[in-house]
Amino acid sequence: MARLREEGAHLSERSESGGAEGRTPRIAAAVAAATLFAAVAAVLALTTPWNPLPGSVPGGRVEPDPALDFSPAEIARSRAFDSAVNPPAYAGLAAGLVLVFALGFTPLGARFIAWATARTRHRFLRIIVATVALTTLLRVAGLPFDIWSESVLRRYGLSTQTWPAWLVDQFKSLAVTWVICTIALLLLYAVVRRFPRYWWTGAAAGGFLLVVLVSFIYPIAVEPVFNKFHSLQQGPLRTDLLAMAERDGVPVEDVLVADASRRTTSLNAYVSGFGSTRRIVLYDTLLKSPPARVESIVAHELGHAKRDDVLYGTLVGALTIAGSMCLLYLLMTSPRLLRRAGVPSTGPREDRSGGAADPRSVALVLALVAAGTQLGAPVQNLVSRRIEARADAHALNLTRDPSTFVSMQHELSVRNISDLNPDGMEYLLWMTHPSGPDRIAMARTWARMRHVPEPPPLR
């Protein structure tokens, strides 16, 4: 009898996903996914600045060596901080993945959603409740590790927040997650219901457009939730920065200052948005540095703006999301995977979208997104480091002042307690920028290539 049941289930699965009617959209989705991912791979391979300083180097390229520029005490502090901050980071990552995979790839998530939405009858309200409940559960589960990390930052003087202010920021972050995830999932499930057999087409197009839209509105809608911004006041520094941007041929809407000091003592600057929302943002902590050093770091940000790195990253990310939606279709129409997640693989007779439209599959969607994000992180980090190195080269070409660049990178590394010698796993999981010693070595290599005085060791 058990064998007959097993054979019946196997035949049912074949009829659900293996018939000619079921194979056609799956084959089309597979071809589209392969094409889009191949396009992303080709774009990254051809456009990533794998060698941001091309050409021969008299005397050879300079190798990074922290001992040349950092004191034994600074190196020891960096190692101690790294040893203190890594355990909560790795533990939090592992615990988060275990929980989201347990919810998505077992019936636990479907049962949790059924419980959370027991009194909700409308399909789309169930999706909203399921999304809010799951994202809240995941954030609460990660809170102990976040508190652990924050405690390390406080012990090393990097955090200036009170615990109540920190908790408010955590809630703001959760609220942003609610909004973004709810909108994305409502749109996804609407497309699944509207185009049951070919919903991957609408999901791919919608995902592409949503990524572009979020990237455009994020600087004006989300960043102000966490920081207050004001234009850099009139004075020599603002005049010099705008003059440098004009000399570089980079249209800059404004140079803003973020009130980062109420949260951290670290130094930073970044460029966000594109088009009418593109702006360069300086931490207010950075304004205490000598003007030449501020100009050096802004020159780096101008390198991002001149190359339209934000727009480039947005379009590559949007293309990746489009391919991911095609792959998601293949996974969400797998009866075996749906059964593993505790989601019925078939819906009512009139609903040809099957289990993919069931709100109980939200946990499976989040688990698949988490898996894809984690698998893609090493590639994303690698490309980001090369783009950051190109922006460093741009800063050196623009300022032609490698000595100030070296002193700026030293100050950044010391103030932020950056890892001066990251290991391979840290490069894979976390490192979106080259290390401080790598950036200093590039400045000395640039000086050799341009036949200008090479910055001497700072020690």
DSSP state of 455: P
Q: Please report, as a single letter, which amino acid is at residue 400.
A: R
Which listed residue (295, 301, 358, 419) is catalytic? 301
What is the rounded distance in angstroms from the CA atom of residue 25 to the CA atom of residue 221? 38
How far is CA 219 from each of CA 149, 222, 228, 275, 279, rounded to the nearest angstrom?
A: 26, 6, 12, 11, 9
Active site residue 295: no
What is the rounded distance in angstroms from the CA atom of residue 392 to the CA atom of residue 186? 41
Give the residue from 452, 445, 440, 454 showing the smallest Cα distance to 67.
Answer: 440
Structure tokens that stand for 19 in this block: 């018939």
Location of structure tokens 């190692």: 79
Structure tokens that stand for 118 in this block: 């027991």
At 102 the three-state DSSP class reads helix
Structure tokens that stand for 114 in this block: 């059924």
Which listed residue (69, 295, 392, 401) is catalytic? 392
For residue 77, the number of C-alpha atoms closer than 13 Å in the C-beta half-sphere is 16
Contact 308, 251 (CB under 8 A): no
Q: How many CB atoms lie within 10 A of CB 76?
A: 11
As annotated, the binding site includes 300, 304, 388
What is the rounded distance in angstroms from the CA atom of residue 362 to the CA atom of residue 367? 9
* Degrees to nearest 5, angle at CA 212 with 207 and 215: 120
As annotated, the binding site for Zn(2+) includes 300, 304, 388
Give the residue from 306, 215, 328 showing the smallest Cα distance to 252.
Answer: 306
Location of structure tokens 């924050």: 150
Contact 280, 255 (CB under 8 A): yes
Active site residue 301: yes
Using left for φ > 0, alpha for ψ between -120 and 50, and beta otherwise, residue 273 falls in left
Q: Which residues form the catalytic set?
A: 301, 392
